[in-house]
A and B are shown apart, each in its own frame.
Chain A
Amino acid sequence: MTYTWLVVGALLGAAACDLALLRTRLLTRRAFWTSYAIMFGFQLLVNGVLTGLGVVQYDPDTILGVRLAYAPVEDLGFGFALILLTLSCWVALGRRATGLPVRGGAARPVRAGPGRPAPPPAPPARRPPSPGSSPSDG
């Protein structure tokens, strides 16, 4: 059960980072859950290969014993916490690039108003063409 409790702690920690520390609020966003739904399938596959082949082997005393595609369910929590923490950091760092405070404030993007200076107008956003771009996305 040790691994189980550590995973619970990691999930709470990652959620606290997303909701309170960085306030990226990915847990409230459709884009995050859609992304995770896509990743979930691959997560089962990767965990399944690693555990099914026995590349990683677990002490039965540290896990609940519930398995999904060979892997302990704890691994799903482990992966979820890792993904949420990383994506929260990614978004927070992206705010800096767009002139927003790294640590989010408002629950939703707010327009410039009293006490909140208007950001400089964004330059016309055009990606430089890259050799691999498909014609439709430029």
Chain B
Amino acid sequence: MRQLTYLGLLVACLLGTLPLELLLGVRVYARWRRLAAALVPGLVLGVAWDEYAVRHGHWHFDHRYLVGLDLAGLPLEEVLFFVVIPICAVLTLEAVARRRPGWLIGDEPPEAAEPDQPDQPNRPDRPDVATR
């Protein structure tokens, strides 16, 4: 069981944020192409940094807590970290944007609401959600 510690933590992060997609309807996974593209820079830079840090002894992993699979010279879980945490971040931002439609995040079309207005009851749904 101990080998599943790190992987389990990541799974817990995904399960914990899943209601944002399923119940709140943020449609982040539904826009999976945009999501995948948004993850690439963090994944590439993060893995490169991590690999460098491990090679130079900045940190190391206790393999008793890992499933034992390696990817790109790192434990599988450490690579997945750079996928899972950013996904949770996007879900959180979209959830906040959905609950507070007046708080713009910057991808709204020009006719969107004025910035930082309080909730506007009859405002149409967030515009970008209808594009895919």
Is the pairing of A and B real? yes
A66 within 8 A of B: no
Interface range on chain A: under 10, 10 to 19, 20 to 34, or 35 or more? 35 or more
The binding surface of chain B is classed by DSSP as: helix
**The residue from A2, A90, A132 contacting B56, defined by CB atoms under 8 A apart:** A2
Q: Are A93 and B37 in contact (CB under 8 A)?
A: yes
Contact B45 A85 (CB under 8 A): yes
Least distance between A94 CB and chain B CB atoms (Å): 3
Q: Are A82 and B125 in contact (CB under 8 A)?
A: no
Give the residue of A3, A35, A56, A126 whose beta carbon is less than 8 angstroms from that of B89.
A35
B interface footprint on A91-112 (CB within 8 Å = 1, 0 otherwise): 1111101111000100011111
- Contacting pair A30 B128 (CB below 8 A): no
Number of B residues near A (Cβ < 8 Å) is 68
Chain B residues with Cβ below 8 Å from A26 are 105-106
Q: Given A6-B49, A38-B96, does the pair A100, B110 have CB atoms closer than 8 Å?
A: yes
State in angstroms the CA–CA spacing of A134 and B99 once bound together. 14
Interface centre among B41, B103, B107 (most CB of A within 10 A): B107
Report the bound CA distance from A34 to B116 in whole Å.
Answer: 13
Chain A interface residues (CB < 8 Å from chain B): 2-3, 6, 10, 24-26, 29-32, 34-35, 38-39, 42, 46, 49-50, 53-59, 62, 79, 82-83, 85-87, 89-95, 97-100, 104, 108-112, 119, 122-127, 130, 132-134, 137-138
Task: Provide a sorted-by-A list of 9 A–B residue pairs whose CB atoms are within 8 angstroms.
Answer: A30-B100, A49-B5, A53-B62, A56-B62, A94-B106, A94-B107, A98-B108, A125-B130, A127-B125
